[in-house]
Each structure stands twice: as structure tokens, then as C-alpha cells.
Amino acid sequence: MELILEDGSVLSGKHFGYQTSVAGEVVFNTGMVGYPETMTDPSYQGQILVFTYPLIGNYGVPDNSEMDALYAHFESRKIHVRGIIITSLTTEYSHWNGVKSLENWMIEHKIPGIEGIDTRALTKTLRSAGTQLGKMVIKGSDIPFYDPNKENLVAQVSIKEPQFYERGKKRVVLIDTGSKKNIIRSFLKRGISVLRVPWDYDYSDEQFDGIMLSNGPGDPTMVPETIEILGKHLKRDKPIFGICLGHQILSLAAGAQSYKLQFGHRSQNQPCIQVGTKRCFITSQNHGFAIDDQTLPENWRPWFFNANDGSNEGIRHNTKPIRSVQFHPEAMPGPEDTNFLFDEFVKML
């Protein structure tokens, strides 16, 4: 199998997983663990993922047992990456919770992989030149390049009809733009009921105590319907909390502007500093776009910033209970340093 980048680079490796050719946006993740959660994260829709950690597959894949009608160990019901690129595949896995190999799991979901690639060199290329389109091609079956950022990826990963998860008297409307399951789990374990609605659903007539904007894939400007509906609620005093794409949607609804990062933030070790303090949190992240906090309108202010590149990692309203973060406080995978943000939001309801 060959990996072909849009700059003309061709890298050869050994195929594993499902026998097919795929194309997408080639991005890298520097996390050391968490490949089952990462690969099932809807935010990776349309992307080919480079794992920089050299050994992948060593602890296999857990079972698909459910908890509260949600998979306990995955962030969605399917693999969302189009393919993966690794240095070395471990076929003999060992873990108390592992029930199948990574390769067998990928075959079930029709996802190809390529190993034997110098992922360090490839990552340096993507870091220097920026994220590129690419394709993983089996010999004799070439395909065209594909740019997922030109599509409404959110519509592909959002639910089609509202779903209700009953727990307590307080209720949060979760705008599903590609929500990870652990966002829902995080509310349920705190005794909060969740009404999960599609990305373009007008929830104005629903009964709720707060609004949660989920993570998701692609360019936030591709979902003007979500932004327009949210805009009506910014005039109210209902608590609102956004994560990742939800942070970007909230910022756009407030009047700020977004831009595409050179290579994005995808890992479980991104340092974020709370504005006005020296407190640094290690966070889990997965995004390719960011908000220009210099475009924030009056009554809004930055909340967190990335310690590596200074990009915005959160905003908050000066007087209303409305805030958002670019990182993932729900983790899965990654550190739980910022899990307390769910507790703070619940107190506002």
C-alpha cells in the first residue's frame, strides 16, 4: 500500500485492516494511548489519522458493552477515521479488557491501515508544511483526493431524531454536532437528564435548564443553521456551555471569527492556561480550526489559551452564564484535569 500526499510525496508501507483505498485529510495525533476512543471520535470524520506513538494495537480493543444505552468504551457506534497510518502494528494484544485485535476490529468496520511508515518524518512534514490531503492506495486501485472540509461533515455524524436520556429533574439540551458519548455520560453521572437533538433542530419550544454544544468535525462555518438557532438563545439568561466545535459555534454566534490552524491540535497532552492566572491544565484535544479572540465582540473575553502557540482555548461572557472551551473536559481519552468544568456548569442550571 502507498500513502500519496497532495504535495506529490509517496510513502510505501504494509497494508493491514480492510482491503480498500481511501482518501481524506491527513492529520496527526501525538497521544500515547486511547486509540479505540480516538478512532470512534466523530470529530475525525473524513480524516486519515497518523499515530505518532510507534506501537499501536498492543492492548487490543474492548468489548461493546452498553451503559445507559451508550457504548461504555467507545465514543460512538462506529470508527470515524477513514484510515490510520502507524509505524508498527502489534498483533498479539494483551489487556484484561481486550476482546479482539485492532486489525480485526478495523476489518469489521471496513477501515484500512498502513504500517511501516516513518511517522516521525511524516509528522514533521505535516507540522512544517501544514495539514495535507492524502490517499492510502492499494496497488491497482488509485482514487482521487478528497477534501472533507468542503462538506457539511456535521450532518453526516449528527443524530437524525431527538433522543432523551432521563436521569434527574434538571435537563440539558445537547446540540449533537458529532457528540462524543462521554459528554452524555458526564451529565448522567451527575444526575442531569439529557435531551440530545440534531445539529439543525430548533429547540426553542423545548423545556430545558441549559444548553450544551458538543464537539464535532470540520469547519464551523459549514453549519449556519446551528449558529442561527443558538443566536436566539444568547439573548436569554439560560446557561450555555460549548466544547470544541461547540466552542467555535458559540463564538461565531456571538460575532467572532474562526480560522484554520496550520496542523491543528490532536493529542492528550495540550497545555492550556487560564487567562489571568498561571494555572496550566493538560488537556485532550482534537480540532483543526480555532477562534480569533481579537474578533470577540464587547461583553465577551478569552477564558483559556494554548501554552504552545497562544491560540484561543475558551471564551466566556462578562455577565451571563455562557462559556465554552476548545479542549475536551470529558476526556476519553486523556487527562481529566478539566472535568470540574462540568460541575461548574451543573451548578448554573
Told to judge if 244 belongs to the known catalytic residues of this protein, a careful annotator would answer: yes
178 and 40 share one domain: no
pLDDT recorded at residue 121: 96
Catalytic residue among 15, 247, 265, 328: 328
The CATH number assigned to the domain holding 79 equals: 3.50.30.20
184 and 115 share one domain: no
Could you tell me the pTM of the whole model?
0.96
64 and 165 share one domain: no
173 and 26 share one domain: no
32 and 6 share one domain: yes
Among residues 115, 150, 185, which one ends one of the domains? Answer: 150
Among residues 150, 172, 189, which one ends one of the domains? Answer: 150
273 and 182 share one domain: yes
Straight-line distance from the first to the last Cα atom of the chain, in angstroms, rounded to the nearest whole number: 52
116 and 163 share one domain: no
Among residues 116, 150, 184, which one ends one of the domains? Answer: 150
**Structural domain count of the chain:** 2
Which structural domain range is residue 175 located in? 153-348
Closest to 179 (Cα-Cα) out of 141, 132, 211, 139: 211
280 and 133 share one domain: no
The CATH number assigned to the domain holding 306 equals: 3.40.50.880
Catalytic residue among 15, 244, 265, 287: 244
178 and 114 share one domain: no
Told to judge if 328 belongs to the known catalytic residues of this protein, a careful annotator would answer: yes
pLDDT recorded at residue 140: 82
- Give phi and psi for 38, each to the nearest 5: -65, -50
pLDDT recorded at residue 139: 87
314 and 194 share one domain: yes
Told to judge if 109 belongs to the known catalytic residues of this protein, a careful annotator would answer: no
List of the chain residues with pLDDT < 50: none
210 and 71 share one domain: no
Catalytic residue among 25, 103, 313, 330: 330
Q: How far apart are CA 191 and CA 37, in angstroms?
A: 24
139 and 281 share one domain: no
